[in-house]
Amino acid sequence: MQLLIRKRWVALFLPMLLPMLGLMLSAVWLGYSVATQIAEHPGQSPAVQDLLLTSLPALLMLLVLAAMAHMAARRALTPWLTLAQAVQSRLPKDVRPIDNVPDAPAEVQAMANALNRLFAKAHAENETQQRFIADAAHQLRTPLAALQSQVEAWALMAQSASGKSIVLSAEQVDQLRKASRRTTQLANQLLALSRVDSGLEQGAAAQRVDLKSLCEALLESFLDSALVKGLDLGLEAESAHVTGHEWLLRELISNVLDNAIKYTPQGGQVTLRCGRKIADERGMRAYVEVEDDGPGVAVGEYTRLTQRFYRVPGVVAEGTGLGLAIAQEIAQGHGADLRFGQGAYAQGMKVQLIFSE
């Protein structure tokens, strides 16, 4: 790029070399003429007519030089002005690629290519946002419609009753509770996904994260939900540190651990592990692992587990299909791999987060 810029400057100034040389020679000739007149007529000032006549070549060369400088500057700036007008004339949401600027030098074309890459990223981000909004609206519509229809039915029953009140059975209250919980969970995970996308885009400074302390804190927060189902929730933690965002890694591990507890039947076992191990040819790498002895997932479904709003066919437990999608977003933002496999003795599910460090 620097070589191209040098060549560009040479191409601009080379046509002006001859007028500049002529201007210098005219200035030398003017000085020589004035000096000769003073020497021939000592004590007398040179005549104005003679000075004008002598300086005429220099003035002509100066005019030629100014004209050529103007033409060179105009020719150099025209591609940049064309590119600027192409960008300024766009609407705020217009992210189409910029057409090639005719006869543009390499540096202008490089700027146009950089702008096109920026527009492509903006277009992809806009499509992702629009798709997310559409998916969120679709997913929220079902539980909200169910809640609204149920509440309206009870309201009509209460209005038609003699005492303007009705008695709800335990089953009806439980249905209402499940619907409200699912709606709340979906809204919370949608907000979490939005926070994850925003946090990764802002590029906040990473920090040193202690995986062992993080896993110990998360285990305590999930003990109550594990005890309710009679699960054996264990921790096998070794010292390990990574560079990243602690609140995002907490969200990732929480989603994976929540899935394991949710889908493991009563009396099952869930184990949270962290540390360092040989993961591939690159040697020792930090990892976090959640393993359970639940029903597991078919191997053919692994590639679809991180799709937003995807739920494995046949699953009856409550869920939104966003937990592993959020985990995948965070893993990619940390340059880590999210891997799925079978648990011990080919039973259950094992989710591993392998860091690149």
State the pairing for strand pair 269-280/232-237.
parallel
**Per-residue b/e over 45-81, b at no fewer than 16 CB within 10 Å?**
ebeeeeeeebbebbeebbebbeebbeebeeeeeebee
What is the spatial distance between Cα 175 and Cα 169, in angstroms, rounded to a whole number?
10
What is the spatial distance between Cα 218 and Cα 214, in angstroms, rounded to a whole number?
6
Q: How far is CA 167 from CA 27, 154, 157, 161, in A?
A: 109, 10, 10, 11
What is the spatial distance between Cα 334 and Cα 286, in angstroms, rounded to a whole number?
12
Sign of the CA dihedral running 324, 330, 331, 333: positive
CB-CB contact of 208 with 355 (8 Å): no
Q: What is the model's pLDDT at position 273?
A: 93
Q: What is the model's pLDDT at position 31?
A: 63
DSSP E strands: which ranges in the chain?
A: 207-210, 232-237, 241-244, 269-280, 283-292, 337-341, 349-354
Q: What is the chain's Cα-based Rg?
A: 37
Angle in degrees, 0-180, between the axes of helices 246-263 and 170-202, rounded to the nearest 10: 150
What is the spatial distance between Cα 259 and Cα 290, in angstroms, rounded to a whole number?
10
Q: How far is CA 178 from CA 183, 185, 266, 291, 314, in A?
A: 9, 10, 19, 27, 19
SS3 102: coil
What is the spatial distance between Cα 85 and Cα 79, in angstroms, rounded to a whole number?
10
Q: What is the model's pLDDT at position 5?
A: 55
Q: For 156-165, what is each residue's pLDDT tens digit?
A: 887 887 777 7
Q: How far is CA 200 from CA 134, 254, 283, 317, 335, in A?
A: 22, 18, 27, 30, 12
Q: What is the model's pLDDT at position 348?
A: 87
Taking the mean position of all CA atoms in its chain, how far away is CA 47? Answer: 75
Q: What is the model's pLDDT at position 247?
A: 84
Q: What is the model's pLDDT at position 171?
A: 78
Q: What is the model's pLDDT at position 354?
A: 92
Q: What is the model's pLDDT at position 108?
A: 74
Q: Which two tokens stand for residue 268?
A: 């099952």
Helices then strands, counting H and E runs in the chain, come out as 8, 7
Q: What is the model's pLDDT at position 55?
A: 62
Low-confidence ranges of the chain (pLDDT < 50): 1
